[in-house]
Amino acid sequence: MTVHKLHADPHAFIPEMIARRAAAVLGADMDPSFPARVENVLQRSPSTRPEVVCSQDALASFVVAAAHLGAEIAASQRQSFGTADARLLADHLARAMGVDPGISADHERIVETVAYSIANSSDEG
């Protein structure tokens, strides 16, 4: 009997890790409590699906939702183009999350940070 083991894709985009990486950057840029706030959302939410994530902390919840959706978009980009381009990903993610340019600097910064966190993680793998 042959036993087949599933190996995790080393280039897979893991939403929880993306959210944590983005929160660390945003903690330095926006608010030092951001990593703890995002971790709280991750621990309290049964899912990172954007339509399920909900918390009293709207920006931290937005990071978690953006990480999940960004991971899906990046996987699609990588399948189509062989890579996940940060700028293209940020533009696509902003549209998908309903973030219009100039409306919310915080939300724009989160989308950009999540996109660059994903692009940099794919370069590491």
Please give the Cα distance from 6 to 52 (Å, whole number). 28
Low-confidence ranges of the chain (pLDDT < 50): 1-10, 50, 123-125
Q: What is the DSSP letter of 75?
A: H
Judged on CB neighbours under 10 Å (0-12, 13-18, 19+), 11 is middle
Question: Which pTM was predicted?
Answer: 0.81
pLDDT of residue 28: 92
pLDDT of residue 113: 96
Q: In 3-state terms, what secondary structure has residue 47?
A: coil
pLDDT of residue 12: 63
**Residue in 94, 98, 20 with CA at minimum distance from that of residue 64:** 20
